Amino acid sequence: MDLMQTTATPEEIRRFGLHVNDVVITKDSEEWNDIAVPALVIESASDLVCGYHLAIIRANQQVLFGRFLFRSFQSYAINQQFQIAASGVTRYGLPKSSIGEALILLPPLPEQRAIAEFLDRETAKLDTLVAKKRELIEKLKEKRTALISRTVTRGLPAQAGLPSEAARAAGLDPHPRLKPSGIEWLGEVPEHWVVKKIRHLALLKSGENITSEELEDDGEFPVFGGNGIRGYSSRFSHEGHYVLIGRQGALCGNINYAKGKFWASEHAVVVSPLTEFATAWLGELLRAMNLNQYSISAAQPGLSVEMINRLNIPVPPLSEQRAIADYLDRETAKIEQMTAKVEEAIARLQEYRAALITAAVTGKIEVRKVNS
């Protein structure tokens, strides 16, 4: 973990140094639900001090066990007190007095320790389950990426759902011969595909500036930036079905689609067709190409439109483009449905985890019987 470097006097180190079993919470943030997020200090470091956006809560060890305090701060009971106490408009802050006045239930020390040990054990099990499900989501993302990349560069797989006779009737070869593409990153492509520069298929042009004052939360026409819809406007700059490419910063090369009437901001590159092609086919091909690698290095990286224009891409016949787009739409929808189910399962586990902590620290669970 990268930590900010600073200087501190001996007195500041004494006041703001971290000790084992201290609880550190966020006391101000731009988001109210980031207020009072706790962390438990499990080991001390002589060269580490607490920053000014954080507050240190140090338990009186005669009456309060540090790990029990940490779990109490994770509970709804205290969290709701802090959310009510936090004030602000664009940035929320939690006064020191509100932290000191927060009410917690205080069982005897042996019971506090038993509750903390119970929660350590049970939340570890839940965290392991959540981690495994997050790994599954990553694998599904990888599967989606591989599916798109393979299909837009090699064509429909033989098992795409069309029998050989039906594929041929639709003008598709279920087992096409391959040829060298002449494109270093691509390798071989189906023999009947042609290689063209992007500029021969489409005009790439940045969108138009729109001020933040013109953006509305609700409006007639969506405004697209580098990462999708930024807001709405009473005006539109384009009408139709377009691929949009993120143009600046971390969103360089990001792919979105816009349909109907919309405004494309200066943070998006609009791909306007010069010849007929399947919009979703080209969009997914551009996504597979990882256009971010063609950004210009600077403090604020920017996509080099001229460089993109010069890139060669494999172009199948229009009927095959449409078949590829339909196939990817169908197959990626299945993956997205599986991903959504896993995310729902994670949300339920996290809700259960939070409820378990609250129940334990408020005496709703007889922890001594559970531990025995």
Collapsed DSSP state (helix, strand, coil) of residue 360: helix
Res. 105: pLDDT tops 80: yes
Question: pLDDT tens across 131-143, in order?
Answer: 999 999 999 999 9
Q: Which of 57, 52, 64, 51 is nearest to 112 (CA)?
A: 64
Q: What is the pLDDT of residue 173?
A: 63
**What's the Cα-to-Cα distance from 333 to each of 140, 169, 252, 263, 336, rounded to whole Å?**
12, 26, 25, 27, 5
Q: What is the pLDDT of residue 323?
A: 92
120, two tokens: 């350590």
Same domain, 98 and 204: no
- Whole-angstrom distance, CA of residue 264 vs CA of residue 268: 6
Same domain, 302 and 210: yes
Question: pLDDT tens across 36-55, in order?
Answer: 888 898 887 777 777 778 88
Q: What is the pLDDT of residue 166?
A: 47
Among residues 73, 106, 139, the one where a domain terminates is 106
261, two tokens: 């009437």
Number of separate domains in the chain? 3
Same domain, 201 and 274: yes
Question: pLDDT tens across 152-186, in order?
Answer: 998 887 545 554 554 555 556 667 788 898 888 88
Collapsed DSSP state (helix, strand, coil) of residue 193: coil
Same domain, 212 and 287: yes
Domain range for 242: 194-315
Question: pLDDT tens across 292-346, in order?
Answer: 888 877 666 678 888 899 999 999 999 999 999 999 999 999 999 999 999 999 9
Same domain, 198 and 128: no
**CB-based contacts of 153, cutoff 8 Å, min separation 6:** 186, 187, 189, 285, 288, 314
- Whole-angstrom distance, CA of residue 23 vs CA of residue 42: 10
- Whole-angstrom distance, CA of residue 234 vs CA of residue 54: 43
Same domain, 232 and 294: yes
pTM score, whole prediction: 0.81
Question: pLDDT tens across 110-119, in order?
Answer: 999 999 999 9
Q: What is the pLDDT of residue 159?
A: 46
Question: pLDDT tens across 188-237, in order?
Answer: 899 999 999 999 999 999 999 988 888 888 889 999 998 899 999 999 99
Among residues 85, 106, 127, the one where a domain terminates is 106
Question: pLDDT tens across 50-103, in order?
Answer: 777 888 888 898 999 999 999 999 999 888 888 787 777 667 787 888 888 888
- When pLDDT is cut at 50, 70 and 90, the band that residue 9 belongs to is confident
199, two tokens: 């500029």
Assign residue 223 the CATH number of its domain. 3.90.220.20
Among residues 46, 76, 106, the one where a domain terminates is 106
Same domain, 120 and 178: yes
Same domain, 206 and 224: yes
Same domain, 34 and 67: yes
57's enclosing H/E stretch is: strand 54-57
Q: What is the pLDDT of residue 370?
A: 60
Same domain, 212 and 250: yes
264's enclosing H/E stretch is: strand 255-264
- When pLDDT is cut at 50, 70 and 90, the band that residue 16 belongs to is confident
**CB-based contacts of 326, cutoff 8 Å, min separation 6:** none
**Amino acid identity of 362?**
T
Same domain, 240 and 275: yes
Same domain, 291 and 361: no
